[in-house]
Amino acid sequence: MAQSWYNRLTNWNVESLFARAPPPRTKRSIFVNETLPNDYFDQKGRPKKDHVYITNQVVTSKYTIITFLPRNLLEQFRRVANVVFLVIDILQFFPRFSTISPGLVILPLIIVLGVTGVKDAYEDIKRHQGDRRVNHSETLVLDGGDWVNPNRMGKKSKTFVRGILSQAKKLTPKDRTQNAEEGAQETDMEYDTDNESHPRTPSGHSRHSWHSHKHHKPPHWKRALWEDIRVGDFVKIRNDENVPADILICATSEEENVAFVETKNLDGETNLKSRNAVASLTSLRNAPACARADGFNVDCEAPDVNMYRLNAAVVTKNGTYPVVLQNTLLRGTILRHTRWVIGIVMFTGEDTKITLNSGATPSKLSRVERQMNPQVFINLAILLIMSTVCGIVDSLIEQDKFPEGAPWLARDDRSDDNPKINGLITLINGLITFQNIIPISLYLSIEFVRTCQAAFIYFDHQIYYEKNGQPTLARSWNLSDDLGQIQYVFSDKTGTLTQNVMVFRACSVAGRLYKGDPERSTDTVEEKPLVQEKPATNIPSTSSNPSDSSQTTPDVLSVSKVELAEHVLAHFHDSSLEADIQRSAESDADQAFSRSLNGFFSVLALCHTVLATVDPVTHAVEYKAQSPDEAALVQAAADVGYVFRGKDREIMKLQTPFTDGVEEYELLNVLDFTSARKRMSIVVRKLGDEDGQHRVFLLSKGADNVIFERLRKDESQEFKTTTQRDLDEFASDGLRTLCLAYKVIPDSIYEEWATRYHNATIALHHREELVDEVSAELEQDLRLLGATAIEDKLQDGVPDTIADLKRAGIKVWVLTGDKLETAIAIGYSTNLVARDSNLIVVRGGEAGERYSVGEQMLEAVEQFFPDCGILETLAAKGFTEVRSEKQGERPNRRQSTAGWSDLVGTNNGERPGGFILVIDGTALGNALNDSFNKELLLQLALQCEAVICCRVSPLQKALVVKLVKEGLKTITLAIGDGANDVSMIQAADVGVGIRGEEGLQAVNSSDYAISQFRFLKRLLLVHGHWSYARNGTMIINFFYKNIICIGVLWWFQIYCAWSTQYVFEYTYVLFWNVFWTLCPVIAIGLFDRFIDADILMAIPELYRFGRERSWYSLRLFGIYMFDGFVQSVVVFFIINYAYRSVSARTDGYETYIYEASSAMAISAVTIANTFNGLNTHAWTGWVWFAVSIGTILIWAYTAIYTTISPGWIVTPVFGNYHFLFRSSLFWFSIVLVIFLALLPRYLAKAIRRQYWPTDIDILQEILESQLSSRAGSRLNSYPLQSLHNGGPLTEAASRSVTDMSLGGMQTSHRGFDFASEEGGVHMRRIQSNLSERRRRTMNSQGDGENTHSQGETGLRRALFPSLSRSVRRKMRLPTK
């Protein structure tokens, strides 16, 4: 019961008290050019709460002006010590218990609360500034004319900045009118009609002019702040602008009202997604049309966290039109390659999907701080026991001695002063006397030390990114010690591990390998001239939308150069390839190779969904692709002379080095890529053949195993073997591969197949399965052309960083929105997946399906971890599903997948590299929704070295972090760079944001901000290790030094009738935590260094001391407390015995109490400071100063304070110096006490270091022996390096994947990736055009819509047994 109560107390969140109750989220109807119905208002004419929408203001800060004081005080009073001191300080306001001025008594607590509050306020002001930058972004909103938005919005929140400014800048009505008139002339406005657009007026800002002048101007677009956008507003988004809210698309500038958006901030993917307008609203293409449109309303479902689903409908007088996610732009996305989009705001602020997937800013406490609370409770219990004992014994003594007429009990017979009540008063006085056992200055010291540690991180030049001039920034100063205890790292992929750019590295064509010219720099960005310049007059224009094209922008067929596509880092150059292409054009060339070479790059240039446009500034061809992969492939083809010149409806145009003109291909069918198919194909008819045959070709690209099993039976085995070898080489370098193939289709066969394909596309049931089946029929008997290799450019140092984190015993999980293949490929290239790892894939698994997620995971447990006790653990926790599953017989899944040609043997699970779990978003969602599956997932993940979660939403990222954090009670760290990572960053114990190119959403919500993923290594292994070791050691030494003081006071109670009197003069107690003993513990927190940074970076295994909580634990707390009590015994009883046995004075008089207590005080201070020094590992000048300054001060204070005459101030120790310093007993007792008190600790440290050294002790001895002056550079030559795991990736042939959704089948994997949008509107638009033509030719109806282990594999407790033996044998490092 007590434990449950304590857990509820410590887990209570302050934010839950101050969080505003969210407004009711119900279905809504947005009215456009219509008045609100009467039932939207109550009897008083006020709008009902259900129809008042949240503003578009988003606040990630914790405090406001009103809530700062109460919320911050509540957060600080979660520290038990603060509550105890508040009670004790209040007691001292009563004269009965007063020691000194009550104001001085409470001053330390006020200082602690004030300093901490200022720090918290500073941190939150930074959050407010970030919020302000977002909320004060601008976008174009419809204004003017007769247009009025009838939908009602709530009030905006006032924050620190906004609240202060609003009070300081209140304007009179006259001022507001004047400002409105002036602002109306400066506001950004844009007028447009059906045929023309007028330039904007000069830039300005005025929110006051919106309503006061809107009826005096025709409809136009006006710039407004994001926080002022309302539900129902028409907005106009321009190219490369961020979308301010969840918006319904009415019209776009592109053909067929298509828009392209980048959703990186939502799902982490950089490939473009296509969106299209609602068909019934496409006429709203300008401001007048929007303002004068016939009234309609948009019926929406309630705001939903599901990022991949949205249901709504547009209701007009002509009917109801469905709205799905494909018709919307979500907040957080960025408009790309689209001149403009006009839309209607559907959801704002906290109702947007990205905000619903983000949590409120949490109040985080470090593990050390959470561990301090039970230790403070222990000290509080000791305080209560000591005070209670004093109270009881004092009461008993008074009751015994009062009848005897004891002189000190004279007149103790009153109601408020008698032996019975005095026991209670003594108890309360005991709380005041012994209060230092709970050190209030500890919290202030911790805050100061952590602030300095944040500064150390800020000024560390090794984690300073010179490219953008950004240092590593600690945004939350109270989590530095958690950096040294991280056990799990959850990382986003895109922008965190990768740079979001692709490089075409190599290709294998007809058995010949082309790896590019090595002297070419991948960092060079240049424009590639076309092989042949074609004058515009010779080639007809193919502009798809002349009305949208600038008169000065040339046609795509007339330009003479190609610029790098977005997210493509460099052009591809290979001298030998260029020479082969030139030779292929000659008459005596190898015709077979020439055909293969031409076919390879023709497939590369045609089999895609890329758009070719002309940059209006550079007048160069620019490729706009849905994925960086496709852009890199088409770019590479253009670099060698195969230039894709765009598409006019179904006619694709290709320029090659072998023809003078442009080849034309009629696009007949697109067989779309899916995760199951792992390939994409197009069917084209070549036009303009010399023989007039117009042959039909199937062009395919896909994963190597999928393409190879579909090749012709008579394909050259030598060619296949060569290509396989090249693929292995590509994969071993961590490159992502594709195979290219083709075949010629006779017209009769194609016509027959086309009919079946058309019927499949219009089927009402099982359409996707039928389409895949018919597509597979055509994709047979292919001719292999070759393979490509693309590098998804990683950030610098990512593989080394992940490898070192794994060596440090930290488990790394990758949570990404990318597809499964992409995630696995990145796993290999980043060293997350080792060369000899086994992959367990869990995907899909909807409830009721044949292979549910639970069945897949149970199969994995039984197949790979039968002896790990997972099922027994689940059964012990009361999950009956385990017993029912074991009693029943699950289907034999291996039989269900017979016929797969990519089985690789039976040794999966026996490889030495361990297991990697890969799970997709669907399976993850099903697992998290069921308690049994959730626990099973956690237990299975514990047996794996790493976990990769793909296709996950932002909310799922946060749920995964919480699953591990709460299920295992471990310290977690989440790192990301986009808005889709905010919820994950907030859910983790430590959140790290990367300053990426896509905004500061992640940084604004993080605890630490870095510029490169590789900086995480030093942040954890060096700063984390140092901070945790320093803070932990400082805290236990802080408790220790106070125990000495309290122990001496306690032992004195034996001789003062347990009356809670001070043995010291009061100022010695008052200054104990201020002057005498504060500096050494502060020095430990700031300057102690257990091992140098270069050693920590070179040997990540040393990080285990933090993971195992070696520097701060209840055991260490008990040891140090025991040390303090023992030393207090030595100090008090030896000195007390010495001074009581014989007179310390030469005149023979009895000694005064303060003569002995002064010796006790000086001895105790010297012992405490020296003891802290013994626990310090790096004795710098500052440490020497800190250890000695307290001792020097107390000697000086004793000498000066005892000489102050009563004429200045009355003190009880005046003249003490006359007796104190002349007594030999004083000097001898101090030396003896210090020696005896410190001897046990010194001997214990020496014996342990000699006979049971830790790894750090061993390394320290090496460094101290002066043989490691070059340790940082020579460490790699020492035998320690034999422990280093990892290294470069080798042959991909050793990799093995077990896909549990396929019944536990083993498949080989080469890092294949195909990042394109499945079922996207761009692909559907192509399919739709082709389907229209089929309907015209076949006279049929339809549409073509296509849609790691708890028993870790970690390190041995003794990392370096051979080193230990070597040191004990006094072995020396080799010298040059």
**CA dihedral angle for residue 963, residue 964, residue 969, residue 972, rounded to 10 degrees:** -120
Angle between helices 1025-1052 and 1078-1087 (to 10 degrees): 170
Q: Count each helix (H run) and each strand (E run) in the chain, helices first.
A: 47, 40
Q: Of the residues 131, 481, 492, 1255, which is catalytic?
A: 492
Phi, psi (rounded to 5 degrees) for 140: -85, 130
Which are the contacts of 1058, defined by CB distance < 8 A and separation ≥ 6?
389, 390, 393, 394, 397, 426
Contact of 59 with 227, CB cutoff 8 Å? no
Q: Is 246 a catalytic residue?
A: no
CA separation (Å) from 78 to 73, 108, 363, 438, 789? 9, 18, 11, 15, 56
- DSSP per-residue codes, 773-788: HHHHHHS-SBEEEEEE
Which residue type sits at 1027? S
Does an H or E element contain 281, and which? none
Which are the contacts of 1185, defined by CB distance < 8 A and separation ≥ 6?
1079, 1083
Given CA atoms 193, 199, 205, 209 in this order, what sign does their dihedral have?
A: negative
Task: Report the SS3 class of residue 528.
Answer: strand
Angle between helices 160-168 and 102-135 (to 10 degrees): 90
361-375 core/surface letters (b: 16 or more CB in 10 A; e: else)? bbbbbbbbbebbbeb
Phi, psi (rounded to 5 degrees) for 122: -60, -45
Token output for 164: 């202060």
Token output for 369: 């701080």
Among residues 538, 552, 547, which one has the least CA distance to residue 614? 552
Token output for 236: 């106009």
d(CA 831, CA 814): 12
Which residue type sits at 1046? I
Instruction: Tell me the residue length of the chain.
Output: 1376
Strand partners, 200: none
* Residue 511: Cβ within 10 Å count: 18
Residue with tokens 């929105």: 817
1335-1362 core/surface letters (b: 16 or more CB in 10 A; e: else)? beeeeeebebbbebbeebbbbeeebbee
Angle between helices 2-10 and 367-401 (to 10 degrees): 130
Q: How many CA atoms lie within 13 A of 452 on its CB side?
A: 15
Token output for 1310: 């080469």
Does an H or E element contain 630, and which? helix 628-639
Given CA atoms 1136, 1137, 1140, 1143 in this order, what sign does their dihedral have?
A: negative
Taking phi first (over 0 means left), then psi (-120 to 50 degrees means alpha), and beta for anything else, what does residue 999 get? Answer: left
Among residues 590, 582, 629, which one has the least CA distance to residue 511? 590
Q: How many CA atoms lie within 13 A of 497 on its CB side?
A: 30
Phi, psi (rounded to 5 degrees) for 841: -105, 125
Task: Report the SS3 class of residue 818.
Answer: coil
Strand partners, 794: 498
Given CA atoms 529, 530, 535, 541 in this order, what sign does their dihedral have?
A: negative
Taking phi first (over 0 means left), then psi (-120 to 50 degrees means alpha), and beta for anything else, what does residue 130 get? Answer: alpha
Active site residues: 492
